Structure 1
Amino acid sequence: MPSARPAPQLRVSWLLLVVVGLVVAGFVVLAPSVGLLIEQRRDIAALEEQVAAQQANVESLQEQQARWDDPAYIEAQARDRLFFVYPGETSFVVLDDRTTLETATADVPSATLEEPEDDWAAAAASSFLIAGLTTAGPSSFGEPAEIGEPQ
């Protein structure tokens, strides 16, 4: 008959408990400091990127300033932006800057003349006279008439 052995028991020594307690206490004490360190490193990296972007901006502004020191560049800008010309030169400004495709699809007006249905000059004159000679307020006139409706 086999002899019954007792199950092995876990022996915990006082030294092991003290070491585990110190490690846990160290994590609790150092965790906020480590979190703060990581946050500060993230902030430093963001600020370094911002400084690099600002340095690139300063360099581009210095290049623009150097261009403005050149008299030929100033002359070109005055001609392009302000339409300056030398005496005796003729300047042309294109007002219709549509592309040829947009110009080609525009509606072409008919070649025949059409007689207008209403006499707009008489309507404008009567409106002017009515507005000048009436003593009624604006609310008594009602809604404005539609274009083309007889009055």
Structure 2
Amino acid sequence: MPSSRPDPVGQLRVSWLLLVVVGLVVAGVVVLAPTVGLLLEQRRDIAAAEAQVVEQQENVEALQDEVARWDDPAYIEAQARDRLFYVYPGETSFVLLDDRSALESASAPVPSATLEQPTRDWASAAASSFLVAGLTSAGPTSFGEPAETDTPE
């Protein structure tokens, strides 16, 4: 008499087959992962090397243009005049030496054309400074603005 239960051997075969397939997939990933990582790293290195080659080719082209400029006698003359201050016989060369920057020379204050009257007597200010410095025990950082003294004007 046939039983209504499914055959357990058939279920085991399916689960064993599933385990074998999953195991093979995992083994394939483990075996191929380092190779794929190496492939990606090599592609990245190749791309960097190609970019470096392009940059060096541009540099070589710029240097070749520079060499071509030096073949021109007018360029050589201009460089000798600018860099070495060479002149032809009979010419006079002038060199302007200005160690100030453009900002300093542009923002220099213009002196006043009128005389200004001092607001305090300098002699009494010097004497009071001398007396304060000699008679106090406070340090130099504690001094602020000197006190105004009553002096006849």
Aligned to 1:45: 47
Structure with the larger helix share: 2
For the pair 1:60 / 2:56, whether they are aligned, the reply is no
Match of 1:80 among 69, 79, 82: 82
Shift of 1:57: 0.5
Any unmatched runs of 5+ in structure 2?
1-10, 112-153
Q: How many residues align?
A: 103
Aligned to 1:121: none
Aligned to 1:24: 26
Q: CA RMSD in A?
A: 2.8
The correspondence of residues 2-151 of structure 1 with structure 2, limited to 5 A, is: 11=11, 13=14, 14-96=16-98, 98-99=101-102, 102=105, 105=108
Q: Could you say what secondary structure the match of 2:21 adopts?
A: helix
**Taking every aligned residue pair, what percent have the same amino acid on both sides?**
70
Any unmatched runs of 5+ in structure 1?
1-10, 109-151
Q: Cα–Cα, structure 1 residues 100 and 25, in superposed 2: closer, same or farther, change >3 Å?
A: closer
Q: Could you say what secondary structure the match of 1:86 adopts?
A: coil
Q: Which moved more, 1:78-87 or 1:93-102?
A: 93-102
Q: TM-score, normalised by structure 1?
A: 0.59
Q: TM-score, normalised by structure 2?
A: 0.58
Shift of 1:21: 1.2
Alpha-carbon separation, structure 2, partners of 1:30 and 1:50: 30
